[in-house]
Chains A and B, each alone.
Chain A
C-alpha cells in the first residue's frame, strides 16, 4: 500500500437506517402484541414457510460496513462509496447483479482495492448462482474503464488474492463487514 493520502478530509454521511429495524412488538399480519410469554422462539421462526428472496437491501447489508482502506475507522457507507440504490438486479436474469461504487475523489488510488474488497465479500457471502459485476460509478474516476476491466477479470482477482500482504489488509477491511451500524 502506498502511503500517499488521496483524500485527507472526506465528507461523512449519516448512515441510513437498516430496513429490519421494525419494532419487535409489531409482528406483521398479527392482531396480537408479542407478550414475550411464548418461551420457544421456534414457533416464530417456523411459522411461515414462505421463502424470503435475496434483495437489494440484503446485499447492501453485506457490504455497507466494510472499512475504507484509507480511513479505517469509517465504513464505505459513511463515505457514500456504496449505497443500496447502486445495487441493481438484472431484469432478464435474476441471478445477475451489478454493484456500483463511487470513489470519494476521481484520482483515488484505492479504488481497485475497494472494488476488490466488495468482490471478495460478495464471493464469500452470496450463493454461487449469482453473477456479479462490479463497476465504478460512471464519470467518478479518471481511469474508470481500466478499473472496471480489472475488477471483473477473474484471473486478475485471483492473482491479487495470492498476494499475502494485500490479503492481510483486505481481511482487516473486511473484519468490520459483519457489524451493523448500530453496534459501532
Chain B
C-alpha cells in the first residue's frame, strides 16, 4: 500500500513510464488492487488544482490500459465507469477519462447497462468542437467499441442514441476519424432503426462526396484516397432510404464535376442503384439518362464513356430486373429502356455519322442487362438495320450499317455465352428469330469489299453464338465466304479475315470447309510451275498456299493437305513424262516445290505450337515419301537435271523432318534413326525411302564416300535433320561413337564442298556431343585437340579452311556450354589465343561472342541437354576478360578483335547479363562504331537501342556520352557517309529514342544540329530510311525543356 502511494507520488512529480509499469506489476502479482490505487490517488482525484486532477485521472487511465483484463472484475468496471462518466463533466479531466473509457469499453466485464451509461454521458458532456483530432479519435473509438460489443443495448436506447451520435459525428474533418466514423455509420444505417434520421445521416455522409482528399507526401498514417472513398461508398449504399436524396446530388456532381469526380460518381452509382431499388431508379430514370447520355455521346474521355455505359446498364438492370421474369415475348417494355432505345434508333438512321457509334454502344450495353430488355432492343434494332440496308437510297451507307449490326450481334453473343456448358434450346437464342434476314443481308454485304469486313465480323459472331446457326446454314455461310476468297484478287486483308471466319467454322463443323473450301483451293493450285516471268500466277499460288496454311491446322484438314500436297510435289519434281518439263529452266519448278514444302513445314510448326498429337503419325505418312523423292532425285541427277536437288528445298525438307522427329517417343526415334543410318552409312535405303519413285537399283547411295556426287553430299542436310532432335537416351546405331564423330570432323575438312554440307555436319556433331558428352571424353580431349592443332592453330593452312574449322569448333564449344560442361571454357580460352592472328582474329573473336547465342539446333524442343543460365555464367566469365583485353591493348589489331568479340557477345546474350557493365562498355561500344564493318556497326547500334529503350529516364551513362553518341549516329544515318541501309535505319531509330531517355538540358546544344542534319536524311533514296528519319526528326522537334 505504501509502495503504491510512493509510486503515485513519484509519477505525479516525474511522469515516467517506470512508475506505471511498476504499478501494473504490483497489481499483476496481487500485491495491490485497483482500490488501493484509487485510494492512493484520492487526494489528486479531488484536488482543487486543475493540473493535479488531470494527472490523477491520467495515471489511473494509464494503469488500467495496461492492466490484465482479468484483474478488472465486474465490480471494479462498474465503479470505474461511473467514476469516468462523472469525470467527463470536468473539462480538466475529460481527456484522461476518455482514455480510460476506451480501455473499459473493450473489456468482457463491461455490460450493457454500462454501455448505456457511457453513451449518455458522452452525448451529454462531450463537445467535439473543442477537442483536438486525437481526442475526437478516442471518442469515435469508444463508440466503435460500444457498437461492436454492446449493439443490442444501444439499439434499445432508440432515438436518443442515434441523435446523440449524429451530433458527435457532424462536422468531422480528419481522414483518420472519418474512416472510423464511416464504419460506424454503415452499421447504424444497416442495423439500427434510423427511419427518422435519414436526412441527418445523409448530411453527415453525403457532405463528404466526392472524396477529394489527397494524402500529404510521406503521410505517416498511410490513408489513401481510395481507402476513404471505399469507406464512404460503403455508407452511401447502406440503405435504400438514401435514394431520393442521393440521386439528385449524384447527378449534380456528374454534370458539374471534374473528370475524376465523374468517374467516382459513376462508380458509386453502380453500387448504389441496385440498393436504392427500382422505385427510385424509375422515378429518376429520365433525369439520369439525360445526364448519362451526355457522358456517352460527348465523352470527356474513353474511361468516363465506358463507365457511363456501365452505369446505364446498371440503371436498366435495376429498373427491369425487379419486374417478375416475363417469359412471354410479347410483354411490352415500357419506360426508360423503350425511350432510350427509340432515341438511339433515331440517331442510327444516319449510320455513317459519328454519333451512330455512340448510339450503338448504348444498345450493345442493353444486351447484357435483362433478357426482356435485350429481346426488346434486338426487336427494335435488328429490323431497323435490315430495312436500312435494303433501302436503295441508303446504298452508300451499307458498310457502316453492317458495322453497327456486327457490333450489336457481338454484344448479343457476349450476353448469351456466359454458360458454355448448357447448349441453349433451338430458338431460345434471342437473335434466332431474325437470323434469316440477318444472314441474308450479310451475304449480300459480302459481295462488295467495303461492307465485306463488317459482314464477316458479324457472321463470325453468329457462328460463335452457340445454338444459333444450323449445320445447313453454316454450309451456306462457307459457300458465300468461298466466293469472297475466290474473288479477292488484289490480296487485301479481306482474305485474312475470311480465312479467319472459315477457321472458326472448321472448329465446329470441319466438314463444310473440307468439302467445299479445300477442293476449291486445291484446284486453284497449278500442276506445273508457272514460267519465270508469270509473276501474277506465282503470286496466285502463293496466296492459295497461304490460305491453305491458315486453314489446315485442324487434324482432318491437315491429313487432306498432306496427301494433296505430296502428290503435287511428286508430280512437280518428277513429271510423268520428262518432255513435260522445261529442261533448261528448273528454277520456277523448284521455287514452287519449295513453297509447297514450306507450307507443310509452317502448318506442322503451328500444330506443334498448339500441342496437336496427330503430328506423330506423319513419320510414316510423310517423312518416307520425302526421303524417297530426294534420294531418287539426287541419284537421277547424275544423269539428268532434277528439280528436287535444289539446296533450298533440302533446307525446308530438313525443317519438316526435324519438326516431326522431335514429337516422337525415344523408341520410335530409335527405329527411325536406324533406318536413316542404314541408308546413309550402309547405302540401304529400303527402310527410309518409300514412295512412288523407284530408287534405281544400279546406283549406290553413299553420300559420305569421297567419290560421291555433290547431289548426294548435299543430302547430308537430311541426315543431320534426322539426328538433331534425338532424345538423350537414343544412341546412334554405330559401333563406336567416338570414331564416327571423328570421321565426320575429318570429313568436313577434307570433303565438304559448300557451307550447306559443312553446316549439316556441324549441327549433327553438336547435337550428338550435347546429348552424349559424358561418353565422349576421348573424342573431346584427343580428337578435338588434334583437330585444333592441325586445322585451326596451323598457320600454314589456308585462311579459308581455318575459318571453317573455327566455325566447327564454335559449334562443338556451344554444344558443351549449353549443358554446362567444363571443357567449354577451355575451348574458349584457346580462341582468345587467336586474337593476334592476322588472318583469323576476327573469326575467332566472333566465335567467342557467338558461343552463348541462341540457335535453332540446340533447343529445348529438340530435347537438347540445357543447363539454365548458361549464357549468364558465360558472360560473367568472358565479359570482364574482353573489357580488360580491350583496355589493355589500345591501338593494336588485338584491340579491334576484342571489340568484335564484344559486339558479337552482347548481341547473343540477354541484356540483363551485361547491364551492370554498361558504364565500362559504353566507350568500347562507341569505338566499335568506328570499325569498318557495317554488320558490326548495325548490331552495336541495335544493342545501344535496346539498352536505351529499357533504361529509365535520365539515364546517367547515356547522358555522359550523349554528345558523342549523337554525332556518331548522325554520321551513320546519312547516305553520303554510310552506304548500308540497315545501319542508317538503326542509327535513325537510336536518334529517335534519345530525346525520351536523356534530359533536355543535356541534349539541348545538339538539337539544332540534329534537326538540320536529319533534314538531309529526309531526302534519303530509300523509303524505309525516310520514314525513320521523319520519326526521329519529329521527336527532336517536340523535344523541349
| Interface residue ranges, A against B (CB under 8 Å) | 8-12, 14, 17, 21-23, 25-26, 28-29, 31-33, 35, 37, 40-42, 45-46, 51-52, 54, 58, 61-62, 71, 74, 124-129, 171, 174, 177-178
Contacts and interface: CB of A to CB of B under 8 A. Distances in A.
A33 B598 contact: yes
A51 B591 CA distance: 28
8 contacts: A22-B491, A33-B591, A35-B598, A42-B938, A45-B980, A46-B981, A124-B1033, A171-B1038
A176 to B, nearest CB: 12
Given A25-B542, A124-B1034, A33 B1026 contact: no
B1034 A46 contact: no
A54 B1018 CA distance: 10
Given A40-B935, A45-B982, A124-B1037, A35 B1031 contact: no
Given A12-B354, A23-B491, A33-B542, 4 more contacts: A14-B450, A26-B539, A37-B651, A125-B1033
Given A42-B938, A46-B980, A51-B1022, A32 B493 contact: no
B793 to A, nearest CB: 29
A60 B1021 CA distance: 18
B355 A9 contact: yes
Contacts of B571: none
B380 interface: no
Contacts of B399: 14
B1023 A42 contact: no
Given A10-B354, A14-B450, A23-B491, A62 B1030 contact: yes
Contacts of B535: 28-29
Interface string B486-518: 000001110000000000000000000000000
Interface string B586-616: 0110010011001000000000000000000
B354 A74 contact: yes
Contacts of A177: 1034
A48 to B, nearest CB: 9
Contacts of B1034: 124-125, 174, 177-178
Contacts of A129: 1019
A113 B935 CA distance: 45
A37 B1034 CA distance: 35
Interface of B: 350, 352-355, 357, 399-400, 450, 491-493, 532, 535, 538-539, 542-543, 546, 587-588, 591, 594-595, 598, 648, 651-652, 934-935, 938, 980-982, 985, 1015-1016, 1018-1019, 1021-1024, 1026-1027, 1030-1031, 1033-1034, 1037-1038
Closest 3 CB pairs of A and B: A51-B1021, A127-B1019, A31-B591
A174 B1030 CA distance: 12
B542 A26 contact: yes
Contacts of A61: 1027
Contacts of A125: 1018, 1030, 1033-1034
Contacts of B591: 31-33
Contacts of B648: 32, 35
Given A31-B532, A42-B934, A127-B1015, A52 B1021 contact: yes
Contact of A41 (B651, B982, B1022, B1026): B982
Contacts of B400: 12
Nearest to A120: B1037
A35 B594 CA distance: 9
A12 B404 CA distance: 13
Nearest to B601: A35
Contacts of B532: 31
A52 B981 CA distance: 13
Specify the main secondary structure of chain B where it touches its partner: helix
B594 A58 contact: no
Contact of B352 (A11, A126, A127): A11
A41 B588 CA distance: 24
Contacts of A71: 354
Contacts of A9: 350, 353-355
Given A31-B587, A62-B1030, A10 B1015 contact: no
A11 B330 CA distance: 37
B353 A11 contact: yes
Contacts of B587: 31
Contacts of A174: 1034
Nearest to A171: B1038
B82 to A, nearest CB: 68
A8 B1015 CA distance: 39
A52 B532 CA distance: 25
Contacts of B543: 23
Q: Which of A31, A54, A124, A126: most chain B Cβ within 10 A?
A: A31
Given A22-B491, A127-B1018, A42 B354 contact: no
A135 B963 CA distance: 41
A48 B389 CA distance: 49
A11 B356 CA distance: 10
Contact of A45 (B588, B652, B985): B985
Given A33-B591, A35-B594, A71-B354, A45 B981 contact: yes
A128 B648 CA distance: 46
B595 A54 contact: no
A174 B1022 CA distance: 24
Given A62-B1030, A171-B1038, A32 B492 contact: no
Contact of B1026 (A14, A23, A58): A58
Given A45-B982, A125-B1018, A12 B1024 contact: no
B1019 A23 contact: no
A101 B591 CA distance: 47
B1018 to A, nearest CB: 5
A26 B539 CA distance: 7
Nearest to B982: A42
Given A35-B648, A42-B980, A74-B354, A128 B1026 contact: no
A23 to B, nearest CB: 6
A8 B648 CA distance: 59
Nearest to B1019: A127
Nearest to B1036: A124
B982 A12 contact: no
Q: Which of A9, A61, A62, A71: most chain B Cβ within 10 A?
A: A9
